[in-house]
Amino acid sequence: MPDASAIADRRSWPEAADPPAPLGETRGLVYRPSDTALIDGIDLKIPGRGRTVVMGPNGAGKSLLLRLLHGLLIPTAGQVLWGGRPLDDGLRRQQAMVFQRPVLLRRSVAANIRFVLNLRGRAESAQVSEILDEVGLGELAHRPARLLSGGEQQRLTLARALATNPQELFLDEPTASLDPASTAAIEAIVNRAHARGTKIIFVTHDLGQARRLADDVIFLNAGRLAEHSPAHSFFDNPASQAARDYLEGRLVIRKPSR
């Protein structure tokens, strides 16, 4: 395994002379819930614009990294900074996350949206309808949320996350179990949020999806950062052997952590 510090951000960012100003940053990030470090000394600078896709084989630590970036897990060592400030509750309120398995309140579709709007002020019916219409669920507003199809449920969780107007939106394999049409619908919503200025950080295993969405790619292997590159560099000429193996469909063997 090459030294992570030598790999991170070592590739050129051709759109500009320098990489975009970082919004998120991790310094020596370690997550070790037991003897084994599951996230092992990750230094990252996440660009302030665009869609960052996190990739890596199973068990690489993608979901853990997302949870650490969002403050759902407390790192064993190291720091997470957003806009140069250590992550705190105030910053976390400006973020939102969509999980692989939709977690919906046992209420109607509209009530799920109303719940988050009420957390941040009073929910207006028109606002709820507008949010649901935007994700194509306006007609289903009064249906129990848990009776929706998988794709509709995930659109609802995405709408609920976006209802908080997050500056950063984390998505942990939100389309992992969805059909192509539902996947396309989710991607369209994500792209609209991105166009409105929301920073997107998206975990996926789907290479096609990563190619469609990514502006830059963070590639993890065995809890370490293998590389962080602009998307075209990553897909055309990956810097790390692990990423090359992964892109060519070879089994990437998890190596023991330090």
Partner 1 sequence: MQDFSEAFGLAFRLVLSADPDLLEIIALSLKVSLSAVAIACLVGLPIGTAVAMGRFRGRTAVIILLNALMGLPPVVVGLLIYLLLSNAGPLGWMRLLYTPTAMIIAQAVLIAPIVAALSREVVEQLSTEYAEQFRSLSVPPGSAATALLWDARYSLLTVALAGFGRAIAEVGAVIIVGGNIDHLTRVMTTAIALETSKGDLALALGLGIVLITIALSVNAAVMALRLTATRYAYA
Least distance in Å: CB of 97 to partner 1? 4
Using the rule CB under 8 A, is 31 a contact of partner 1? no
Q: Tell me the closest approach of the beta carbon of residue 146 to partner 1, in angstroms.
A: 4
103 binds partner 1 (CB under 8 A): yes
With binding defined as CB under 8 A, does residue 251 bind partner 1? no
Question: Could you say which residues in the range 133-162 bind partner 1, by CB under 8 A?
Answer: 144-147
Instruction: Return the number of the residue (13 or 115) whose C-beta is nearest partner 1.
Output: 115
Site string for partner 1, 70-89 (x = CB under 8 A): x-x----------------x
Query: Rounded to whole angstroms, how far apart are CA atoms 57 and 120?
Result: 37
Residue from 82, 99, 219, 234 in contact with partner 1 (CB under 8 A): 99
Using a CB cutoff of 8 Å and minimum separation of 24, what contacts does 142-145 make? 142/108, 142/109, 142/110, 143/108, 143/109, 144/106, 144/107, 144/108, 144/109, 145/104, 145/105, 145/106, 145/107, 145/108, 145/109, 145/111, 145/112
Summarize as ranges the residues that interact with partner 1 (CB under 8 A).
70, 72, 89, 92-93, 95-97, 99, 103, 105-107, 115-116, 119, 144-147, 164
